[in-house]
Amino acid sequence: MNAESLRCKECATEYDFGAVFYCERCFGPLEVAYDFSGIDPGEARRRIQAGSQGIWRYRDFLPCGDEAIGRIRLEPGLTPLVRAEGLAERLGTGAELWVKNDAANPTHSFKDRVVAVAIARAIELGYETIACASTGNLANAVAAQASACGLESYVFVPADLEREKLLATDIYGGNLVGVRGNYDAVNRLCTELSQEKPWAFVNVNLRPYYSEGSKTLAYETAEQLGWELPDRVVCPVASGSLFTRIGRGFSEWIELGLVEGEVPVFSGAQALGCSPVATAFEHGEETCTPQKPETIAKSLAIGNPADGAYALERARSTGGSIEAVNDDEIREGIRLLAETTGIFTETAGGVTVAVLRKLAERGELTDGERVVAYITGDGLKTPEANSDSFSIHEIDPATDSFEEAFAGVGAL
Ligand SMILES: Cc1ncc(COP(=O)(O)O)c(C=O)c1O
Ligand SMILES: [Zn+2]
């Protein structure tokens, strides 16, 4: 393992490699500090290619050891990166569009990545109970991975989540706790509980390790592009952890010489009904003012984003932006992606595609620019979002009835 300590992102104070997440001196967030001095780029690439068919192929860049990794039962990763020519055509852009379909993970969202890393670290630290504060997808991932690994789980979510996400959590048999309040209230409760219970809260006291799992999306993207970088990424933002850690993944590989070139332009995507980071971006502010969420994109409904300031920094330093789209645009985004790529995404993916569309319509995507859009969750988790535009041709079981229903349509 190439990691042995944590470091404050603000004041660089070093901390032991334990279940701590904020700096006692300045309250800044802690992150994993690596010693990559032993890494040779050619050898690192060879080790990756000879590795597993999932995120553990990148184990040299993650904060968990081989033994704990061996105890993880669901390995996420190596999800498809597909060219989206049809989508580019519909958007009228000459950019080279790619879609990273990260719904193709064990519980159908990118959260399986962060959970696998956090639970591996929890096992190393001797925890027997795994917990989290979730907007839905993390709940699915924690409940499934904990059960598969023989660990207990307590999953805290806002009680008014989509029914599909609740069902897809409860099915794994952990303890599902619906809190009467929004995600920010759930998160506060879990922060309090983390002081009292001997539990690994993956996104509270294990947050420094958890976040590292998202770097694997950057590594995979570069590897799948033939060890090359995209020019731009479009990525949804809730707490800002995914967005900033994809950035960290690219930066690490550039510094270590595994890939050449510049960090891509980072375009962030939020729902207008919960857009603290997009609002701060628009107003030129360095920190976010908390908002009360009201959007169909419940998985992105974090009003007080922990990594908001770092997401702003990443967008600005790469010449990108953080954009917000309304609920109708989100619904259209879901349809547009489905019709052009055959990928049915949940509301978070609708947000990403709607922002991609906005950038294309504003003429911000240049011809030949290689753009990767991150689709982070599956449409079957939020089917109600598009129920208003749902249509079916109902007929009698007779050819006449069929001909009548389709008279004058298409090839008939
Ligand atoms: C599907 C999906 N995409 C993106 C995100 C954003 O994650 P982050 O909190 O790391 O910004 C979430 C968060 O729950 C999510 O569920
Ligand atoms: Zn500090």
Which pTM was predicted? Answer: 0.97
What is the pLDDT, as a whole number, of residue 408?
77
**Alpha-carbon gap, residue 129 to 123, rounded angstroms:** 9
**Alpha-carbon gap, residue 356 to 260, rounded angstroms:** 25
The verdict on residue 121 lying in a domain is no
pLDDT in tens, 238-274: 999 999 999 999 999 999 999 999 999 999 999 999 9
Look at the alpha carbons of 137, 139, 140, 146 in this order and tell me if their dihedral is positive or negative: positive
CATH number for the domain including 242? 3.40.50.1100
The verdict on residue 263 lying in a domain is yes
pLDDT in tens, 334-361: 999 999 999 999 999 999 999 999 999 9
What is the pLDDT, as a whole number, of residue 411?
61
Contact yes or no for 374/105 (Cβ under 8 A): no
Provide the token pair at 291: 């908002």
The verdict on residue 345 lying in a domain is yes
Q: Which atom of ligand 1 is nearest to the CA of 238?
A: 11
**Alpha-carbon gap, residue 77 to 85, rounded angstroms:** 24
Provide the token pair at 98: 């790619």
* Total structural domains within the chain: 1
The verdict on residue 244 lying in a domain is yes
The verdict on residue 7 lying in a domain is no
For 220, the domain range is 81-105+212-389
Which bin fits 363, alpha (ψ -120 to 50), beta or left (φ > 0)? left
In which element (H, E) is residue 88 found?
A: helix 85-91
The verdict on residue 185 lying in a domain is no
What is 125-160 written as a DSSP string?
Answer: TT--EEEEE-SSHHHHHHHHHHHHTT-EEEEEEETT
Residue 184: phi and psi, rounded to 5, are -65, -30
What is the pLDDT, as a whole number, of residue 85?
98
Q: Which atom of ligand 1 is nearest to the CA of 240?
A: 11
pLDDT in tens, 53-109: 999 999 999 999 999 999 999 999 999 999 999 999 999 999 999 999 999 999 999
The verdict on residue 229 lying in a domain is yes
- CA angle, corner 101, sides to 252 and 146, nearest 5? 80
Contact yes or no for 359/329 (Cβ under 8 A): no
The verdict on residue 124 lying in a domain is no
If you measure from the C-alpha of residue 195 to the centroid of ligand 2, how many angstroms do you get, rounded to a whole number?
20
Provide the token pair at 124: 């190393």
Give the residues surrounding ligand 1 with Cβ less than 6 Å away. 109, 135, 137-138, 236-243, 299-300, 346, 348, 376-377
**Alpha-carbon gap, residue 258 to 406, rounded angstroms:** 55
